[in-house]
Chains A and B, each alone.
Chain A
Amino acid sequence: MVALVWGAADDPPVAAVMSWLERLGAPHLRVADDVSGLALHGDCDEPTAGTLIHGAGSLPLDRVTGLYVRPPDDGAAPFGALDRGLVALAEGASARVFNRPSAMASNHSKPYQLRRLAVLGFAVPETLITTTPETARAFCASHGAVIYKSVSGIRSRVTRVGPAQFERLEEVRWCPTQFQRHVAGVDVRVHVVEDAVFACEVRSQADDYRYPGEGDAPAHLAPLALPEDVRARCLATSAAFALPLTGIDLRRSNDSRWYAFEVNPSPAFTCFDAAQADAIAETIARALLAPR
């Protein structure tokens, strides 16, 4: 019974899960590029038949009960043999995996996610992806308050289309650009860990609470009890996306509708309410050790 954590020691979610594994006195091992002396021996076709060589010895992979996958996203180094082996393990192991790489790929297309979120019963904002400046201008004119953000999983700041951006709409002709009607309301971040649901209300003056503007007060975070139907929808979302660990971006609009924007496959849950983040880390750690 060993928990594997694939991630950087200084990454807060990884550190939080590692801390709980230590508090539980559970055998665990962190793997990453910054850990020296690591090697994966074995056949990728049978990932659990392999052995992980590490500084303190070796670990037969059939002893791994759970794997937390949060590799560093620094975009620097190409994937090496160890990473390819870990991808194969995460993809094919019968152990509990948070999350399998192929399921995490849904985050590469926000409109792909958005359509599925609508099917799951969430409200979704009117959205346009366009390379046509005239169409972009017409969308902005018809909806009044409009934001733009990346189409892909590349991290981008959600930005309101103001006069300065409106003047630059001619530039959309070079790249499909995503516009959405701004939905006024209160952000709610929901984390799902298997059948556990944690909701956190985020009150912020900024269009993107991750990036408060100059003079904006920091976002106010508070745990929130979700309505039962929304909670059930979040669990259904986690299942539909095959992401047992996920961070779902919701907004309760001023007219009390629940909008969904995105499903995060590798959520930075430590950015939200501290006590809740600790509970999420504990839930992940315990799940990594539990037999399936």
Chain B
Amino acid sequence: MLLILSAPDDPITHLLAARWAHHASQIVTGDSLACAGWDYVPGRATQARVALPHACVDASAITAVLTRISHVFPEHLSQIAEEDCDYVAQEMTAFLTAWLDELPCPVLNRPRPGNLSGPSWPQARWRQLAASLGHHVSRARLDAPAAHPLGFPAHAQVWPTAVVAGSAVFGSVAPPLRMAALALARRAGVALLGVFFDAHGADAGLVGVTTTPDVHEPEVTDAVLALLLARAP
């Protein structure tokens, strides 16, 4: 069973779930966590119980997890009283961080505190890391949400993008930029990474990254699925 942890309105998630239906893919949102059936003892992740829309299952039945959100967001909790949404969203995020961190199956990307889909670094740190690897860094910046100092970018970007999925790199940027994206992902220890550049050519500068890249192109979807399946126990 593949779990896709997502915002409820993420069209890419629904597309992936349809393409991966024969792998028993299941979408988990914040609302999925607001119902009886979740049990987790820290240190025993595979013995956890998971409440899915039509059944509760053992976590041992989960073969892989794709995470497409950095946090559970309050606005994604349709069943919670408005005044409680901030608190509940943070509690759900904290629970998922601990559980996904120790789940032994493939988790793309493994959470870190502060980001369910990878390192919780500000964009500046990603650019510093790229520069330390010898890559040209653009003076252009991603527009960061004002409310979040770590500046996770929105998905819809106009920048030329390389998407790293394991050792494969996709996107219409020049090969040196693909190599730069791959090197950055490897140094950061993430299997899935979107890297934005300010142009397509080899001398383009790196603008920023996302740990929840757009993976809707069929070849990218297939590469992500291969990663999820290949490393499954």
Contact = CB atoms under 8 A, between A and B. Distances in A.
A115 to B, nearest CB: 5
B93 A152 contact: yes
Contact of B125 (A88, A115, A153, A154): A88
A182 to B, nearest CB: 17
Interface string B140-161: 0000101111110000000000
Contacts, number: 164
A127 to B, nearest CB: 5
Contacts of B229: none
A97 to B, nearest CB: 13
B97 A112 contact: yes
Contacts of B114: 102, 105, 108
Interface string B69-109: 00000000001100010011011111101110110000000
Nearest to A71: B149
B124 A110 contact: no
B200 interface: no
B151 A118 contact: no
Interface stretch (A78-86, A211-219, A232-240, A281-289): A78-86
Nearest to A105: B114
B120 A102 contact: yes
B3 to A, nearest CB: 16
A91 B121 contact: yes
Contacts of B90: 108, 152-154
Contacts of B201: none
Nearest to A150: B91
A221 interface: no
A174 B80 contact: yes
Contacts of A153: 90, 94
B137 interface: yes
Interface stretch (B10-18, B34-42, B170-178): B34-42
A132 B39 contact: yes
A32 to B, nearest CB: 14
A112 B39 contact: no
B121 to A, nearest CB: 6
Interface string B1-44: 00000000000000000000000000000000111111111110
Interface string B110-131: 0011110001111111011001
B186 interface: no
Contacts of A108: 90, 93-94, 97, 113-114
A110 B128 contact: no
Contacts of A267: none
A130 B36 CA distance: 8
Nearest to A133: B36
A102 B124 contact: no
A115 B98 contact: yes
A126 to B, nearest CB: 8
A7 to B, nearest CB: 15
Contacts of A126: 41
Contacts of B147: 78-79
A87 B150 contact: yes
The 3 A-B pairs of least Cβ separation, nearest first, read: A105-B114, A152-B94, A88-B124
Given A84-B122, A112-B101, A174-B80, 16 more contacts: A44-B123, A45-B124, A45-B131, A79-B146, A79-B147, A91-B125, A102-B120, A102-B150, A105-B113, A108-B113, A108-B114, A109-B95, A115-B43, A127-B42, A154-B87, A175-B80
